[in-house]
Structures are given as C-alpha cells and as structure tokens.
Amino acid sequence: MQSLNVNLLRFFFLFLTAGALLWTGCEKDDDEGPDNEEELITTVRLTFTDGAGNSSVFNFSDTDGIGGNPPVAEDIILAPNTAYVLSMEFLDESNPNDVADITEEIKAEATEHLVCFDFAPPISAITRIDQDGDGKPLGLESDCTTGDAGSGALTVSLKHQPDKANANPCSTGETDVEATFEVIVQ
C-alpha cells in the first residue's frame, strides 16, 4: 500500500512539473521589448510651401513594394533662390480603398524616427524644424532653400530607431523607406 502511495506521489509530482514546464514554455517572452512592427510605406509625399503660401506637392510611389514594378517619382520643380517649408507625409496606398496615413504613427513614435535628406545643388540647404519629445530633430517639417537654376536629386529616407546622439544619425537605424526625386530649379 505504501508503494502505491509513493508511486502516486511520484506521478503527481511529475505531472505538476510537466505542467509547470509547459506553462512557462508557452508564455510570451517580454524581454525583447514592445513589438514595433514596421508599417508598409508605399508613398512619400513632399509639399513645398513658399513664403507667399503657394504650395506644390510631389509624390514618390511604389504601391507594389520592393522588387515589383519600379517606383514612380514626380520631378520636383521649384523657383530659384527661394525659401520653402517642406512638409512630409508617409502613406500606405497598397489598398486604394483603405489608405493608411503612417505620418501619424511617426509623430506618435517621434523619438524612434528621423527623416534624413541627401541633396546637392540646386537645393542649397534643408534644416529640420520639428522635434521629438526629447528635443531631438524629427524632419516631418523642414526649411528648404534653393540656389540658382539647375537640376539635381533629392533623396529622402525615413530612419527607424536611429541614434540621434550620433554625429551622423542618418547612418544609424533601419531604413523604413527611401525615395529619390529629380529636382529642377527654374
């Protein structure tokens, strides 16, 4: 009888141990931090507004994503020697019946994002004017100045989790989207 009780206790102990292992093995691992799934960005929209309030909008679109059809970028046409406010929008237009404005998520997670610019004349300067909650640059709003008439390129990159304290923060983090536009100043 005592042997039966010992075997029953062993079985019960093994059952509890196996159950505990299964329970902890199925728990979600929160050590990796919050889930921050990257959004699909198919469209980058640039709006240039001059001092008189005149706005011009230019789009970069890649609705089928990387590897499909090549992206389409409108040529940016600006006036020479002019100061503009450059506003950025990032959209997911992969489903035309359900367009998602990713810009709002970027604003909400501003400390984890940075808009980067690579340009040459005829654009003479781009300076980010908006900031994240820590007082670091964001880039959804920037001052942009053109120089003399000419043509060149402007590349806009949205960086995710950049090191904004780095001397070159645009060389850090992951690139969510990169859009290159031809620029014509005339």
- For residue 2, the model assigns a pLDDT of 56
Q: What is the DSSP letter of 137?
A: B
Q: Are residues 55 and 136 in the same domain?
A: yes
Residue 34 lies in a domain: no
- Asked if 136 contacts 109 with a C-beta cutoff of 8 angstroms, the reply is no
Alpha carbons 80 and 147: distance in angstroms, whole number: 5
Q: Are strands 83-92 and 141-146 parallel, antiparallel or unpaired?
A: antiparallel
Residue 155 lies in a domain: yes
Task: Kindly report the backbone phi and psi dihedral angles of residue 108, in degrees, each rounded to the nearest multiple of 5, phi listed first.
Answer: -65, -30
Q: Are residues 49 and 134 in the same domain?
A: yes
Query: Other CB atoms closer than 10 Å to residue 51's CB: what's the count?
Result: 9
Domains in the chain, number: 2
- For the range 167-174, what are the long-range contacts, defined as Cβ-Cβ under 8 Å and sequence gap of 24 or more? 169/114, 169/116, 170/114, 170/116, 173/114, 174/38
- From first to last of the 186 residues of the chain, give the pLDDT tens digit: 555 554 544 544 444 444 444 444 444 444 444 445 567 899 999 999 999 999 999 999 998 777 788 999 999 999 999 999 999 999 999 999 999 999 999 999 999 999 999 999 999 999 999 999 999 999 999 999 999 999 999 999 999 999 999 999 999 999 999 999 999 999
Residue 88 lies in a domain: yes
Q: Are residues 16 and 81 in the same domain?
A: no
Q: Are residues 48 and 23 in the same domain?
A: no
Name the residue range of residue 75's domain.
43-185
Q: Are residues 102 and 173 in the same domain?
A: yes
Q: Are residues 13 and 64 in the same domain?
A: no
CATH number at residue 88: 2.70.50
Q: Are residues 133 and 172 in the same domain?
A: yes
Residue 67 lies in a domain: yes
- For residue 116, the model assigns a pLDDT of 98
- For the range 97-106, what are the long-range contacts, defined as Cβ-Cβ under 8 Å and sequence gap of 24 or more? 100/39, 102/39, 102/41, 103/140, 105/39, 106/138, 106/140, 106/158
Q: Are residues 24 and 113 in the same domain?
A: no
Task: Write out the two tokens for 61.
Answer: 């679109």
- For residue 82, the model assigns a pLDDT of 98
For 141, half-sphere exposure in the C-beta direction (CA atoms, 13 angstrom radius) is 7
- For residue 68, the model assigns a pLDDT of 82
Q: What is the pTM of this model?
A: 0.79
Residue 55 lies in a domain: yes
Residue 35 lies in a domain: no
Alpha carbons 143 and 150: distance in angstroms, whole number: 19
